[in-house]
Chains A and B, each alone.
Chain A
Amino acid sequence: MSAYVPEYNEAALALLKRFGFVEEVRRRQALERDGRRWDLLVFGLLKDEWQNQA
């Protein structure tokens, strides 16, 4: 599973980490919002990682 999150969305980042997602890619300054650039983070969770949590 993959999830894309802007770096400023701290609530989403915390949620994904709680569910075991791993930060795989940091697309530097990929977003433009409110007149500045932000990183876009790509998270991944593999099936065996998910199974091992349960």
Chain B
Amino acid sequence: MRDLFRGELVRLTAEEPESRAKTEVRWQRDSEFHRLADSDPAMMVSEKKLKEWFEKQNEGEFQSKRYSFSARALDGDKPIGFFGLWVDLIHNEAWVGIGIGEREFWGKGYGTDMMKLCLQYAFTELNVHRVSLGLHEYNPRALRSYEKAGFRLEGRTRKDTQREGRYTDGLWMGILREEWEAMQTGDGT
């Protein structure tokens, strides 16, 4: 059986709220990171607040059908990012949130490796029928990475986010179980 928690470039971890806060407070200071991550107004939070937030998140993890992981680069063991899966049990679907906070690990395949672990977890542990995600059109690096992991673009919600006085589109992607399974045959990549 394949290792659920280890990819080719990263391994998944469960970090203590304290160390997570120490690492991720730096990512929160990077405004581009915020803008690539979501549509919420970019907010800076203190390390203490961040730690409390992670503690609260840990407590609610299983009630909210949310499954989240941190990721470390295999080379050097540095914490570089995270992903979370939110499961809709009614329609058997999971939504992904994923991010790499350390800029020197952008554009080098780490995100794609994390996403492969994420999909493996969604389809073999959570047993969902499909996995979904959304991204901003101005994040082509993410789009390419998600396509490499097997996601298909399913459409765009036109002008749904305002950035610097202009409207931009939201992109929506999905991958079905059968599509993921078809990718698993052969060498397992």
Binding site for B on A (CB under 8 A): 2, 22-32, 37, 42, 44, 46
Contact = CB atoms under 8 A, between A and B. Distances in A.
B69 interface: no
Contact of A30 (B132, B152, B156, B158): B132
Interface in B149-163: 152, 154-160
26 contacts: A2-B157, A23-B155, A24-B156, A24-B157, A25-B154, A25-B155, A25-B156, A25-B157, A25-B172, A26-B155, A27-B132, A27-B155, A27-B172, A27-B174, A28-B130, A28-B176, A29-B130, A30-B93, A30-B132, A30-B174, A32-B91, A32-B92, A42-B157, A44-B160, A46-B158, A46-B159
Contacts of A46: 158-159
A8 to B, nearest CB: 14
Interface of B: 90-93, 129-130, 132, 152, 154-160, 172, 174, 176
A39 to B, nearest CB: 9
A31 B158 contact: no
A37 to B, nearest CB: 7
- Please report whether the interface of chain A is mostly helix, strand, loop or mixed according to DSSP: strand
Contacts of B154: 25-28
* Chain B interface mostly: strand
B50 to A, nearest CB: 32
Contacts of B156: 24-25
Contact of A29 (B157, B159, B172, B176): B176
Contact of B158 (A24, A27, A29, A32): A24
A13 B136 CA distance: 27
Contacts of A25: 154-157, 172
A8 B184 CA distance: 32
B155 A30 contact: no
A19 B173 CA distance: 26
A25 B156 CA distance: 6
B130 A44 contact: no
B157 A30 contact: no
